[in-house]
Structure 1
Amino acid sequence: MTSSFPAAEKSFRGIWPALLTPLTAGLDIDHAKFAAHCKALIASGCPGVTAFGTTGEGPSFSLAERKEAIDQLIKNGIPAAQIMVSTSCAALPETLELTRHAVKAGVHGCLMLPPFFLKGVSDQGIIDSYRYVIDGMAGTPFKLYLYHIPQVTGVPLSHQVIATLKKQYPETIVGIKDSACSTEHSVGLANAFMKDMTVYVGFEPDLPEMGKRGSTGAISGLANFVPRLVKRLVTEPEAPATPAERERVVKLIGLLDGYSLMPALKGIMAMQSGDAAWLRVRAPLVALTPEEYKALEKTISAFGIDTKSE
């Protein structure tokens, strides 16, 4: 039975897709297409969207580009309160600058990685990094989600780090996004912290298990094109259809094996939208070759994605 945790009421609910970032021919952010994608996702039932995370190639864009993109989303009709922003940068002053900008703009909250350039740093160093940003907000209230994705950052968030930060900033730290893709790890976080904040997972096959444990939503890459399906996995974890829908998601993820993930996700967006411009990525990522795209298109076409129900 799904539990209710009143202490986590400040955290988000539902699916806030980890947005893919559309690019122009010059590899700048395509602001009009970005806003249109957000509007389509919100119209499909997503309460909000998440910009510049891993799926969105966040660290590949400059501070000026990321700030301008958020300003343009709001200008183009996306309510600020329905935007989550990953403000993670290698340099702490830049993370603080992006966080200040996002909070001033009125966004729902910020998603923040631990320091991700230097490796082998201590728990205290990670705690001090988060403290630099939170204390630098000069008492301005905001919602912060800790982001654990050690296979990308090389810097894990230990239980000690999470517990220490939650104790020091109980009103600011409202959730954890666990993208380690380990059911055991996610369940461990839920057992340790779900009473005080919401634990979300980025690995969609784990959503039913986490939904049973009180998770209320997800920041999901697959939700760029199957948001309704992803939502059902976490909000209806014990529905009769859920096991089959979970297996469908497992199969979809398996079809992407052998491809670089973000270019492949953009490939599916290109297929679903009929717009080949979605194939563009920023270096160091490399776009799908015509041969790779043709092979992926054949595979996804055989799989079939129902944009009306999924």
Structure 2
Amino acid sequence: MANQSDLFAGLAVAMITPFQNGEIDETALRALVDYHVEQGTDTLCPVGTTGESPTLSHDEHKQVISIVCKQAAGRIKVMAGTGSNSTREAIELTKYAQEAGVDGALHVAPYYNKPTQEGFFQHYQAIAESVDIPIVIYNIPGRTAKNIEPETIIRLADIPNIVAVKESTGSMDQASHILSACDLAVLSGDDSLTLPLMALGGKGVVSVVGNIVPGDVKSMLNAFNAGDLALAREWHFKLFGLCRNLLGLATNPIPIKAAMQLLGRDNGEVRLPMTQLDSGSMQVLEKTLRDYGLL
């Protein structure tokens, strides 16, 4: 699968999971899939951090994957979050996702139990060997408490169906190390760092802000790929203001769900321990969306 390193290039959107009275809102979830098909989003990433996977039961996790795959119906790629800090659980979820019809699986680094680098390597190796679908490594030490070092990611690049890494360390040095030493696709895991990462050779982004402005994120990527750096920078700075004022208000996905509520695309419901934005933050958010031209 080495030739599939560009499989998830472009705009992947880290989808929210809509709730209604504490339960998954299947109708709203299907509507979100259709919205992204219409907007030209390249890939959907359900049940990741933005999809509140930590508070979904395994049955609900599988339910979301199944709904998204059925609604996508081949019209848009699906890269489902199936990671866990238990290798057995990650394999179980990934096998289910393969049967459900995903195009690939996104695997967050094992969190809380802080494996050694050899532990990270064996974890991803075991998952990759258990399925036939492309695997994307997700490295976000700010949430998992430990970095997958570049040397480990470079080792993992030799495994045929490990095709990409979602790079959320915030370190351009780490990204440069990976890009200079292997042919894994590197995807930005931070909206505000997408353009800098593309300049190093990154292939795209797994975007949170793409939940509300997928067309604008695509415009930035398209401008860069067309060699129009001035236009790409223009889009970057426009999006940067939105990201800074929106995503910085509280832990993801609280602000993006609140934004979608203000835009009439979600009811804003989150599961504990996530809580609603306070009234002051909602005012800041409303002003941010108005200044951007969304309200």
TM-score normalised per structure 1? 0.86
Q: Give ranges in structure 1 of 5+ residues lacking alignment.
A: 1-5
Q: Contact 1:14–1:231 at 8 Å: present in 2 too?
A: yes
Cα-to-partner distance string for 1:54-94 (whole Å, 9 max, x where unaligned) = 21112221111011112222344543862110101232221
Q: CA deviation at 1:235?
A: 3.3
- The residue matched to 1:16 in structure 2 has which SS? strand
Counterpart residue identity of residue 245, structure 1: W
Q: Is residue 299 from structure 1 mapped to residue 288 from structure 2 by the alignment?
A: yes
What is the alpha-carbon distance in structure 1 between the residues aligned to residue 90 and residue 13 of structure 2? Answer: 21
Q: Contact 1:44–1:228 at 8 Å: present in 2 too?
A: yes
What is the alpha-carbon distance in structure 2 between the residues aligned to residue 80 and residue 44 of structure 1? Answer: 12
Q: Where do residues 207-218 of structure 1 align in structure 2 (5 Å cutoff)?
A: 207-218=194-205
Cα-to-partner distance string for 1:33-59 (whole Å, 9 max, x where unaligned) = 111111101110112211111211122
What is the alpha-carbon distance in structure 1 between the residues aligned to residue 95 and residue 122 of structure 2? Answer: 18
Q: Contact 2:249–2:281 at 8 Å: present in 1 too?
A: no
Q: Which residue, 111, 114, 117 being the options, matches 2:112?
A: 117
Q: Give ranges in structure 2 of 5+ residues lacking alignment.
A: none
**What's 1:20 paired with?**
16
**What's 1:245 paired with?**
235
Counterpart residue identity of residue 47, structure 1: D
Counterpart residue identity of residue 54, structure 1: T
Q: CA deviation at 1:161?
A: 1.3
Q: CA deviation at 1:254?
A: 1.9
What is the alpha-carbon distance in structure 2 between the residues aligned to residue 155 and residue 197 of structure 1? Answer: 21
**What's 2:124 paired with?**
130
Shift of the 7–58 alpha-carbon distance from structure 1 to 2, 3 Å rule, reads same
What is the alpha-carbon distance in structure 2 between the residues aligned to residue 78 and residue 29 of structure 1? Answer: 20
Q: Is residue 229 from structure 1 mapped to residue 216 from structure 2 by the alignment?
A: yes
**What's 2:134 paired with?**
143
Counterpart residue identity of residue 173, structure 1: I
Q: Contact 1:114–1:157 at 8 Å: present in 2 too?
A: yes
Q: Contact 2:12–2:41 at 8 Å: present in 1 too?
A: yes
What is the alpha-carbon distance in structure 2 between the residues aligned to residue 150 and residue 132 of structure 1? Answer: 21
What is the alpha-carbon distance in structure 2 between the residues aligned to residue 87 and residue 274 of structure 1? Answer: 25
**Identity among equivalent pairs (%):** 25
Q: Contact 1:146–1:173 at 8 Å: present in 2 too?
A: yes
Q: CA deviation at 1:302?
A: 2.7
Q: CA deviation at 1:270?
A: 0.9
Q: CA deviation at 1:290?
A: 4.3
What is the alpha-carbon distance in structure 2 between the residues aligned to residue 295 and residue 150 of structure 1? Answer: 28
Q: Contact 1:217–1:231 at 8 Å: present in 2 too?
A: no
Return 84-93 or 210-219, whichever deviates more: 210-219
What is the alpha-carbon distance in structure 2 between the residues aligned to residue 77 and residue 89 of structure 1? Answer: 24
Q: Contact 2:37–2:75 at 8 Å: present in 1 too?
A: no
Q: CA deviation at 1:248?
A: 1.3
Q: CA deviation at 1:23?
A: 0.7
**What's 1:270 paired with?**
261
| Structure with greater strand percent | 2
Q: CA deviation at 1:123?
A: 0.6
- The residue matched to 1:145 in structure 2 has which SS? strand
